[in-house]
Amino acid sequence: MTFLAAGAPGAPGPGAPALIGVPYDATASFRRGSRWGPAAIRFASASIETYSPPLDRDLEDVAFIDAGDLPVEGLEPAAMVHTVRRSIGPGLPFLLGGEHTLTLGAVQALAARHRDLAVLQWDAHTDLRNEYEGAAICHATVMRRLLDEGIPLVQLGIRAGTREEFAIARQRSLHVSRAVEAPPSLLESLRERPLYLTVDIDVLDPSVAPGTGNPEPDGAAYAELLTALRGLSRHRIVGMDLVEVAPPWDPGGATPVIAASLVRDMLLLFAPPGAPERPAG
């Protein structure tokens, strides 16, 4: 069963999550291939159970839709970001990447609705360059663009970047840490704020998820990341994404399976409570 077929019966409510694929990797700086991420995640979802024992919840009891992929092939980065921004509907968007640049469009759309929106980033990299190879909008600058737009940023799992990027993170981010769990005091301060969650698959160790464009050693284990996400189960999540899954760099196919499991678990954690009424009989 793929995610496309796993949602609870009935018409999802207005707040239901919508999976949106963004097959785009035009600004990849080392190894391209994340354009195939959304399709690989959907395919791999057929290999995992809809029930999560650690969360004791099942996708069959969660209303969501798969809205398919956006038509972004061949677009310039700014046009891709614009396309993503326009795609964000009234429900909870869950974007499947594709490169990290897509986060900019989703956050811009949600920030227009939620003035106090904050972003939590799980990533191996700071992504805080002002420009990279002459580009102001790319996967290496996406978090800098968010800071420049006044979006509060929490950076977790960070273990790579330039000296300048780390200085900017310490000065301008709410928090930056190699750890994947945010401090309890910070989580408490964010309790009432709308949050956008962005997860770069390279926050995980390459031994866990090798299929990504810029792997970095000494990353997190899956269980560590899931524990960090569970710490937000009582928070107000208004959008999320999972990016940088690059299937060509993992011939064994483990990374898409890991990503599909993560999509399942994030849906189970952050989908609005309750399920649609099931048909009688």
Residues making up the binding site for Mn(2+):
100, 123, 125, 127, 200, 202
Backbone angles phi, psi at 161, to 5 degrees: 160, 175
* Token pair of 256 as six digits: 């898409």
Distance in angstroms (rounded) separating the CA atoms of residues 193 and 235: 8
Of 128, 149, 12, 153, nearest to 85 by C-alpha is: 149
Q: Which residues contact 157 (CB under 8 A, 6 or more apart)?
A: 122, 123, 124, 177, 178, 179, 180, 203, 219, 220, 225
Of 161, 243, 157, 252, nearest to 207 by C-alpha is: 252
Residues making up the annotated binding site are 100, 123, 125, 127, 200, 202
Of 141, 257, 161, 242, nearest to 210 by C-alpha is: 257
**Residues facing residue 121 across a β-bridge:** 155, 198
Task: Determine the distance from the C-alpha atom of residue 45 to the mean position of all C-alpha atoms in its chain, rounded to a whole number.
Answer: 16
Question: Positive or negative, the Cα torsion across 239, 162, 79, 37?
Answer: negative
